[in-house]
Amino acid sequence: MERPAWAPPGIDISVPSVSRMYDFYLGGSHNFEVDREAARKAMEFMPGLPKIMQANRAFMRRAVRHAVDNDVTQFLDIGSGIPTFGNVHEVARAADPAARVVYVDHDPVAVAHSRAVLEDVEGTAVVSADLRKPADILRSPEVTRLLDPERPVALLLVAVLHFLEDHDRPYEAVAELIDALAPGSFLILTHASYEGIPSLEEQAGGTVGVYRNISNPLVMRSGAEVVRFFEGTELIEPGLVPLPVWRPESPVEEEDPHTFSGLAGVGRKA
């Protein structure tokens, strides 16, 4: 297997990675054949996966603009993946050039590529850390240097919590992060769910099986389970809704049916 020049040393390119599969769904070029093979297998059960990922990114951009409109210009994006066009710093800085963004991921390819992309971009940083260990993120030099804890921060957990199983204590991790944020901060979150999927649950379960087979279990949670992540914040209108329904900028009825396969919400800390 030929190793691309951009692949960081020490990366096992024979094992699929969820962030590189996500990159493939979005039409990116930072993925290996093993990632494309796993992604294509998942798409056999849910052909709309690329549409779902695009809807995730579109929601993220709307939510980031909403945060800036409400005078929040600090962003902590955990599980940020591989930067693609229209990422958080581009959207935030287009709305306010003074915006500051810290990206966090535990995938070495995502971290290495993010650092390369952001090398000359002021007000941004990349942290190699895991959502399961919030203290490592909050105490990292990049976060303490760039983000003022006395001012509101928009915490992004977009398409990441469904890769944490209950034994990973995801609710505790999110609560610890929210607890560290100043009043007026936002929680911007999306999560996979069987609710709203335009195919049979058994069929969608085939996709879940693909992720389980690559040792990245995909945990589908109900709306009631996802709402629990917002404890400590107040969900803003329209609440926890399918991805395209959150403050849409174009007619929702024009959206691909598969884009309703995920839940999105924004909470504000009082």
pLDDT tens track for 201-217? 777 788 988 988 887 88
242: CATH: 3.40.50.150
Radius of gyration of the chain measured on its C-alpha atoms? 17
Amino acid at 138: L
In a domain, 11, yes or no: no
Structural domains in the chain (count): 1
In a domain, 173, yes or no: yes
The residue range of the domain holding 60 is 18-268
At 256, phi and psi to the nearest 5? -65, 135
pLDDT at position 11: 74
CA angle 249/225/214 to nearest 5° reads 90
Written as one string, the DSSP assignment of 64-85 is HHHHHHTT--EEEEET--S--T
pLDDT at position 241: 98
Amino acid at 210: V
pLDDT at position 117: 85
In a domain, 13, yes or no: no
Residues of the chain with pLDDT under 70: 1-2, 6, 199-200
In a domain, 203, yes or no: yes
pLDDT at position 112: 86
Contact criterion met (CB below 8 Å) for 116 and 125: no
In a domain, 8, yes or no: no
* Cα four-point dihedral sign 136, 182, 76, 57: positive
The kind and range of the H/E element at 22 are helix 18-25
Closest-CA residue to 101 (of 84, 85, 80, 116): 80
